[in-house]
Structure 1
Amino acid sequence: MTEAVSVKKLSHFINGQLVEGKSGNYANVYNPSTGEVIAEVPLATAEETREAIEAAKVAFPAWRDISVAKRAEVIMRFRNLLTENMDELLNIICTESGKTLEDARGEITRGLESVDLAIGAPHLVKGEYSVNVGGQINAYSAKYPLGVVAAISPFNFPIMVPLAQTSMAVAVGNAVILKASEKVPMTSLYVSELWKKAGLPDGIWTVVNGSKEAVNELLENKAVQAISFVGSTPVAKYIYETGAKHGKRVTALGGGKNNMVVMPDADLEQVANAFMGAAYGAASQRCMAISTIMPVGEETAEKLVAILKDKINKLKVGSYKEEGTDFGPVISKESKESIVKAIELAEQQGATIVNDGRTLNIVKESDGYFLGPTLLDHITRDMDIFQQEVFGPARNVVRVDTLTEAIDLINAQELANGVTIFTNDGAAARKFTTEIDVGMVGVNVPIPIPVGYHNFAGFKGSRFGEGHMFGPDQARFFTKTKTVSERWPEVTEKTESTFAFPSNN
């Protein structure tokens, strides 16, 4: 019997203040490890969202006009506050997402990479200057902030993704509105307090909690200039199409179906160790998690599956408060049920269950949303679980005869976020990296997610729009380039009208 916890009533963060919701509609926030309701988050109406947008719009000009160096100072103070309050952040993230302490700490560390890049915004927004391009005319380009921009973030990374979406946007002079996932709103509200302490002017950072009504207002409101989204592919497609229809700059990152190809020459013990964390870390709730392992050749497959079976049986599933936990629960009861259905369907379609995560005691006895690590073998291209993203610890083995077959199978998939190959053969690695049609590629790297100063995005159904989440492309996405041509004639100079198209002649 778990001890009852008090239920907090959360707020929005608008114009530098915590603001109570007006709609009267609230969603429950759960502790996935216990199944208990720990908070109620308000769901903003379109009118409330408009009010938040208006406050951001009013605050924007003053922040735009502050020097880039002064803005960088605020970002630096914010970074220091994040590290100083690491323990509190860890507790909030683990409580509302179910992550282990180790995983949450890693998430914060990766989020800090985006903040670090934003501190260097003065370098990234430098323009260009040309002298005497013709007729004593000088030309220069300069980057300016867009105005009010919005980010819509997912539940699986309560802090890393919001920091990646917003840090550069703030640094280059925009007013940012974050619509955090209603499943993990407490982290973003706490981050709001840190922005306030760092000296960010009121109205430049806003958190609006809500569901589709709030999202649609962000997508349709004329004052919002850009949208950054991370989530599932169907929603990403909707965000992109709706935002673009209303004239906004949109980057919408969707799901992933990430594959790990294993060549016969690879060290299978190392491969298995790499797969374990890449496949099952964070209960497999990562858009870059490895969902399918593809051993090349039957001998490779037989050996690898035997090693994986033994290692998977030793994994510990539990709360972040329990020592030695490898991963915790999935985010919700509905998520757990959908994963179980995917396993059942795969079994009906002919898959072999190597490890069955449904049988663990914690899965049967706990009120939390636990599901043990499941490995399914003999998966074929016509099975649903091969084509569709399963956001939970049900992972697949697809046996192939050749590297070419693996490449063809992966390239035929709709989702193309990340992929990796394990091999000691340079020629095989070169063939793979050249021919694979996936956005982020790894060679002997378990999760090919780039560091914060490289661009992050997949291909095909994993990305809509041309922007990226991490990296220097963020500075481009959240600014507009203005090009100026100027000429200062002598006071005594005489000019005549000309009707020819301007040129250097």
Structure 2
Amino acid sequence: MKYERVRNFINGSFKDVSSARTLPVISPVDGTLLAELPCSSAADLEHAVEAAQTAFPAWSRTPIKERVQVFFRYKYLLEKHLKGLAALVSEENGKTFSEAVAEVEKCIELTEFATSLPQLVAGEVLEVSTGVECRTSYVPLGVVASIVPFNFPAMVPNWTIPNAIALGNCMIIKPSEKVPLSLSVIARLLKEAGLPDGVLNIVNGDSEIVDAICDHPDITAISFVGSTRVAKIVYQRSTQQLKRCLALGGAKNHLLVLPDAKPDMTAQNVAASMSGCAGQRCMAASAMIGVGEVDHIVDLVCQEARKIIPGQNLGAVINQESKERIERYITEAEAQGARILVDGRGATVAGKESGTYVGPTVIDYVTADMAVAREEIFGPVISIMRTSTVDEALRIENENPYGNAAAVFTQNGGMARYIAERASAGMIGVNVGVPVPREPFSFGGWNESKFGVGDITGKSSIAFWTKLKKSTTKWNPEEGVNWMS
């Protein structure tokens, strides 16, 4: 075992859990046993909630301009330790080192946004009548929770930690049991940055602790990122307990490629979008819809895909179960009549034979009823469908239950706008294969890619992590009373 046993982070220090039940943490890069993860019990969660409740009064009363000073220092520490944290992200998740560096750089951008929150939550004041003033202020909720996935061990926690905590809340965060190590480093950096004890607490475990978080009466709000199946469960279970919940689920992102698209740029974007982070991201291109004659672009997509080599510029998928599931999708599509143009099944990396790799895969002549066209694969696989009209392509996109992202590749501005306005997705790209909004614009999809109101990052997150207080004040009785006062 390469690292010491994972521990919870409670009230500013790492602590063992009460349960003897454990899970292995295995690197998908080469199959190395990295650590042993204990599964927290409801009693362990109770300790975390108590610590957060104790810390909340002082933290919430601290002026926000003072709270964000922690995140100025945290940003500096992320920059200082960028390469070390990126190496750990790569090791436990399987993505390439350059992808892990980009992930930590995104953490830095997210933290930078949090430092701007004092300017965004200043509230409003207006004299609504002579001597009568109305004022709004943003008030933290209390103890909140965040449940995060395996595919971005550092970035997704930083979708929620900086904003929720800078806004005055205290947080319980539960990392994926597959990738718990990066979050422990983040906790250490935040403590070094001066975050008071109890403001951030980590509880490790599996679905049992997720259920306990959903049910706990003193947790007021929950954010979740993961599969749609689990997002629905978390949303339903937590809202039944009268909590706020924002649960982000899966995706099936469509790229509509028109014949006038710039061939080289389009092919590079399609290949990069479908294979980045081994396709294990909810913004990955999973389906390409060619409108009209696009064979020349499909050929270039295949050329670009063949440049993507497992173990070099393509990372591993998270575990053997995922590898087998992805390859079953490919085999099933082939059996149903689709044509495999680039085949990533059976990929291995010399010297890392125990790693879990799937090569880039391009599947052509997919029909909309096939599983590879409808379901989230979460691997480096692109399914190509063919249509003769834009409206037919939009129908396919609209009928898919998900709604995270959609993109169009064309040089026709009018057509780009036509498609952007009609695609049923929360994030749209025009000649952009991964249309992730940059701060301060918020991240969030539609349909079965998101359950709850608002988005998880950017300005939209403020409304989720706070409640709005309205105050009306009058100090001049000599003015008399009218209907406005």
- TM-score (structure 1 length as normaliser): 0.93
For 2:56, the equivalent position in structure 1 comes to 60
CA distance in 2, matches of 1:279, 1:21: 39
Aligned with 1:451: secondary structure? Answer: coil
Once the two structures are superposed, residues 55-111 of structure 1 have per-residue CA deviations (whole angstroms, 9 ceiling, x without a partner) of 101111100111111111111001111111112101111110111111011111112
1:177 to 166, 172, 178: 172
For 1:114, the equivalent position in structure 2 comes to 110
Once the two structures are superposed, residues 118-159 of structure 1 have per-residue CA deviations (whole angstroms, 9 ceiling, x without a partner) of 10111121111122x347432211111111111111100111
Q: Give, in angstroms, the shift of residue 311 of structure 1.
A: 2.4
Once the two structures are superposed, residues 13-71 of structure 1 have per-residue CA deviations (whole angstroms, 9 ceiling, x without a partner) of 00000001210111111110111211011110011111111110111110011111111
For 1:273, the equivalent position in structure 2 comes to 268
The two structures, once aligned, show a CA RMSD in angstroms of: 1.8
Once the two structures are superposed, residues 335-360 of structure 1 have per-residue CA deviations (whole angstroms, 9 ceiling, x without a partner) of 11111111121122221111111144
Q: Give the AA of the match of 1:125.
A: V
Q: Any conservation in 1 of the 2:401–2:447 contact (CA below 8 Å)? A: yes
Once the two structures are superposed, residues 438-496 of structure 1 have per-residue CA deviations (whole angstroms, 9 ceiling, x without a partner) of 10000011110000210111110000001212211112211111111222255xx699x
CA distance in 2, matches of 1:196, 1:220: 28
2:306 to 304, 307, 313: 313
CA distance in 1, matches of 2:398, 2:392: 10
Identity of aligned residues (%): 37
For 2:332, the equivalent position in structure 1 comes to 345
2:417 to 430, 454, 468: 430
CA distance in 2, matches of 1:75, 1:113: 11
CA distance in 2, matches of 1:360, 1:337: 11
Size of the aligned set, in residue pairs, is: 485
Q: Any conservation in 2 of the 1:129–1:140 contact (CA below 8 Å)? A: yes
Q: Give, in angstroms, the shift of residue 254 of structure 1.
A: 0.6
Residues 396-407 of structure 1 aligned to structure 2 (within 5 Å): 396-407=383-394
Q: Any conservation in 1 of the 2:348–2:357 contact (CA below 8 Å)? A: no
Residues 179-194 of structure 1 aligned to structure 2 (within 5 Å): 179-194=174-189
1:74 equivalenced with 2:74 (yes/no): no
For 1:88, the equivalent position in structure 2 comes to 84
Aligned in 2, Cα 1:361/1:14: closer, same or farther, shift over 3 Å?
Answer: closer
Q: Any conservation in 2 of the 1:152–1:227 contact (CA below 8 Å)? A: yes
Q: Give, in angstroms, the shift of residue 413 of structure 1.
A: 0.5
For 1:380, the equivalent position in structure 2 comes to 367
1:152 equivalenced with 2:147 (yes/no): yes
Unmatched segments (≥5 aa) in structure 2: none
1:458 equivalenced with 2:438 (yes/no): no
For 1:29, the equivalent position in structure 2 comes to 25
Q: Give the AA of the match of 2:126.
A: S
CA distance in 2, matches of 1:349, 1:308: 22
1:289 to 284, 291, 313: 284
Q: Any conservation in 1 of the 2:442–2:459 contact (CA below 8 Å)? A: yes
1:503 equivalenced with 2:463 (yes/no): no
2:241 to 237, 240, 246: 246
CA distance in 2, matches of 1:76, 1:45: 34
Aligned in 2, Cα 1:494/1:97: closer, same or farther, shift over 3 Å?
Answer: closer
CA distance in 2, matches of 1:78, 1:84: 10
Q: Give, in angstroms, the shift of residue 304 of structure 1.
A: 2.1
For 1:202, the equivalent position in structure 2 comes to 197
CA distance in 1, matches of 2:411, 2:474: 60
Q: Any conservation in 2 of the 1:110–1:452 contact (CA below 8 Å)? A: no
Q: Give the AA of the match of 1:112.
A: I
For 2:435, the equivalent position in structure 1 comes to 448
Q: Any conservation in 1 of the 2:326–2:377 contact (CA below 8 Å)? A: yes
Aligned with 1:398: secondary structure? Answer: strand
CA distance in 1, matches of 2:248, 2:373: 20
Q: Any conservation in 1 of the 2:347–2:357 contact (CA below 8 Å)? A: no
Q: Any conservation in 2 of the 1:363–1:369 contact (CA below 8 Å)? A: no
Aligned with 2:471: secondary structure? Answer: strand
1:140 to 129, 135, 144: 135
Q: Any conservation in 2 of the 1:134–1:503 contact (CA below 8 Å)? A: no
CA distance in 1, matches of 2:454, 2:245: 7
Q: Any conservation in 1 of the 2:130–2:479 contact (CA below 8 Å)? A: no
Q: Give, in angstroms, the shift of residue 326 of structure 1.
A: 1.2
For 1:236, the equivalent position in structure 2 comes to 231
1:130 equivalenced with 2:126 (yes/no): yes
1:419 equivalenced with 2:406 (yes/no): yes
CA distance in 2, matches of 1:308, 1:72: 45
Q: Give the AA of the match of 1:333.
A: Q
- TM-score (structure 2 length as normaliser): 0.97
For 1:14, the equivalent position in structure 2 comes to 10
Please tell me whether Structure 1 or Structure 2 has the larger radius of gyration of its CA atoms. 1
CA distance in 2, matches of 1:7, 1:333: 21
Q: Any conservation in 2 of the 1:135–1:504 contact (CA below 8 Å)? A: no
Q: Any conservation in 2 of the 1:113–1:453 contact (CA below 8 Å)? A: no
CA distance in 2, matches of 1:109, 1:372: 26
Q: Give the AA of the match of 1:82.
A: L
Q: Give the AA of the match of 2:315.
A: G
Q: Give, in angstroms, the shift of residue 238 of structure 1.
A: 1.0
Aligned in 2, Cα 1:6/1:104: closer, same or farther, shift over 3 Å?
Answer: closer
Q: Relative to structure 2, which stretch is displaced further, 305-314 or 235-244?
A: 305-314
For 2:296, the equivalent position in structure 1 comes to 303
Q: Give, in angstroms, the shift of residue 171 of structure 1.
A: 0.5
CA distance in 1, matches of 2:259, 2:205: 50
Over 6 Å off, 4+ runs: none
